[in-house]
């Protein structure tokens, strides 16, 4: 949004900014509820309590529960595709895969709720995301599988089924977000703990990379 500095905002602009801020605030609180209980399992009242507003007020900002939910999902998907986009044939596999693992683990640390919501959606059969999986994710993954295949053909990577390698990276990194409660129960720690984060990242990188790349 382009806007030169000024002492006073136009009344309309200021109102619109405030409107947008509050919308964002509600979205954030709603995500934390939906990511725990899913769409059907969450009630409007849980969300309004979390956001400290009235039910009527929420319906002023979002015309229905479904619109609220879809808005959140849309926002999440924007971030979701980014990190894997970052490697290509010219890259060194160890470095590229290592960075990708770290980037995914950072997402698990910084946006654990988005990860959980995504997980809930998939478990429920991806009623909303099915189109996204087929139309956007699949082409991207096919392309990245080809990159991995080329690394193998160039002798830079030991033979491995590319798609399973991708699944392994996804599952191991997302696990620390989706199963954080179990991990907290068994280790007493989570990814917010810097040492634990580094230890986790290093272990996943070590196990996955040492078996596939000659050191």
Partner DNA sequence: GTCTATATGGCGATAGAC
Partner DNA sequence: GTCTATCGCCATATAGAC
What residues line the site for a second copy (CB under 8 A)?
Answer: 35-42, 116, 119-120, 122-126, 130, 133-134, 137-138, 141, 160-161, 163-165, 167-168, 170-172, 174-176, 178-179, 181-183, 185-187, 199-200, 203-204, 206-212
Cβ atoms 103, 197 nearer than 8 A: no
Rank residues 23 and 83 by Cβ distance to a second copy and give the closer one: 83
* Binding test (CB under 7 A) with DNA, winner from 13, 24, 37, 43: 43
Q: CB under 7 A: which stretch of 52-60, 104-112, 167-175, 184-192 binds DNA?
A: 52-60
Q: How far is the CB of 176 from a second copy (least distance, A)?
A: 8
Q: How far is the CB of 16 from a second copy (least distance, A)?
A: 36
Q: Count Cα neighbours of 30 within 13 Å in the Cβ-side half-sphere.
A: 29
* Binding test (CB under 7 A) with DNA, winner from 32, 36, 59, 196: 59
Angle between the N-to-C axes of helices 11-41 and 112-123, in degrees from 0 to 180, rounded to the nearest 10 = 50
Q: From the list a second copy, DNA, none, which binds 81 (C-beta under 5 to 8 Å, kind-based)?
A: none
DSSP 123-136: HTT-TTTHHHIIII
Q: How far is the CB of 43 from a second copy (least distance, A)?
A: 9
* Binding test (CB under 7 A) with DNA, winner from 24, 37, 49, 64: 64
Q: Interaction with DNA in 65-124: which residues (CB under 7 A)?
A: 65-66
For residue 58, the SS3 value is: helix
| 22 in contact with DNA (CB under 7 A) | yes
Burial of 38 (0-12, 13-18, 19+ CB in 10 A): middle
Token pair belonging to 112 = 């654990």
- How many residues does the structure list for the chain? 215
Residue 154 backbone dihedrals phi, psi, to 5 degrees: -85, 0
Q: How far apart are CA 158 and CA 44, in angstroms?
A: 51
């Amino acid at each position: 949004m382009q806007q030169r500095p000024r002492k006073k905002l136009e009344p309309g602009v200021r109102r619109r900014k405030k409107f947008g801020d509050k919308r964002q605030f509600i979205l954030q609180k709603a995500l934390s509820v939906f990511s725990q209980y899913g769409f059907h399992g969450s009630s409007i009242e849980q969300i309004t309590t979390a956001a400290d507003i009235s039910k009527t007020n929420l319906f002023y900002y979002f015309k229905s529960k479904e619109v609220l939910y879809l808005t959140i999902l849309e926002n999440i998907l924007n971030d979701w595709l980014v990190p894997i986009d970052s490697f290509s044939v010219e890259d060194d596999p160890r470095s590229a895969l290592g960075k990708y693992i770290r980037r995914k683990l950072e997402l698990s640390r910084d946006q654990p709720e988005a990860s959980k919501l995504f997980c809930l959606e998939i478990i429920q059969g991806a009623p909303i995301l099915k189109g996204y999986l087929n139309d956007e994710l699949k082409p991207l993954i096919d392309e990245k599988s080809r990159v991995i295949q080329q690394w193998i053909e160039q002798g830079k990577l030991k033979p491995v089924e590319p798609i399973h390698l991708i699944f392994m990276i996804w599952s191991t990194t997302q696990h620390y977000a989706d199963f954080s409660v179990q991990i907290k129960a068994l280790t007493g720690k989570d990814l917010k703990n810097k040492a634990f984060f580094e230890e986790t990242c290093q272990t996943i990188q070590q196990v996955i990379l040492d078996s596939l790349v000659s050191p």
